[in-house]
């Protein structure tokens, strides 16, 4: 039986601090922006004010391709709170083309389309018009 995992998941308002503002400004514009370390010249995830590899605070924010592939995933069938109303849903790990592995919900997809290695695209969902959107992933379709 094919299961459908739609968009429209609950989207808690994120906490935004000055160190992650470039990421959230990109998200508001529908662009996935990654922090790159100016010292070791690699991107990292999650957004923060220093490189987790070397500790450098010399960061550069660059728009990512928005493409990646499913690294791993699970279908969540039991949850509490607002999430109980949208079961089942998919929590995934997506390896971006740029390298970092990002946790996020995989939406707008069917169980038939879900597999490790499956290409996905970054997208953003809003909880409310005045709140910044949250990163999700959806399938690549021709």
Among 51, 90, 94, 96, binds Zn ion (CB under 5 A): 51
Which among 29-37, 70-78, 82-90, 96-104 is the span making contact with Zn ion, rule CB under 5 A?
A: 29-37
User: Are β-strands 101-106 and 89-96 bridged in parallel, bridged antiparallel, or unpaired?
Assistant: antiparallel
- 81 contact partners, CB below 8 Å, separation of at least 6: none
Pairs from 82-87 (Cβ < 8 Å, separation ≥ 24): 82/10, 83/9, 83/10, 85/10, 86/8, 86/9, 86/10
The reply to whether 100 sits near Zn ion by the rule CB under 5 A is no
* CA–CA gap between residue 107 and residue 92 (Å, rounded): 10
The reply to whether 39 sits near Zn ion by the rule CB under 5 A is yes
For the bound state, the minimum distance from the C-beta of residue 99 to Zn ion, rounded and expressed in Å, comes to 13
Among 4, 46, 56, 99, binds Zn ion (CB under 5 A): 56
Q: What is the CA radius of gyration of the chain?
A: 16
The reply to whether 40 sits near Zn ion by the rule CB under 5 A is yes
For the bound state, the minimum distance from the C-beta of residue 66 to Zn ion, rounded and expressed in Å, comes to 23
Interface residues with Zn ion (CB under 5 A) are 37, 39-40, 51, 53-54, 56
């Amino acid at each position: 039986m094919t299961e459908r995992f739609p968009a429209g998941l609950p989207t808690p308002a994120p906490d935004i601090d000055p160190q992650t503002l470039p990421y959230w400004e990109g998200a508001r514009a529908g662009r996935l922006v990654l922090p790159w370390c100016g010292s070791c010249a690699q991107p990292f995830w999650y957004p923060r004010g220093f490189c987790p590899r070397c500790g450098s605070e010399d960061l550069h924010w660059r728009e990512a391709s928005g493409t990646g592939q499913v690294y791993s995933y699970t279908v969540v069938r039991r949850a509490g709170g607002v999430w109980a109303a949208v079961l089942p849903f998919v929590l995934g790990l997506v390896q971006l083309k740029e390298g970092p592995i990002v946790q996020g919900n995989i939406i707008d997809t069917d169980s038939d389309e879900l597999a490790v290695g499956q290409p996905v695209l970054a997208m953003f969902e809003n909880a409310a018009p005045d709140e910044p959107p949250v990163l999700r992933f959806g399938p690549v379709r021709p």
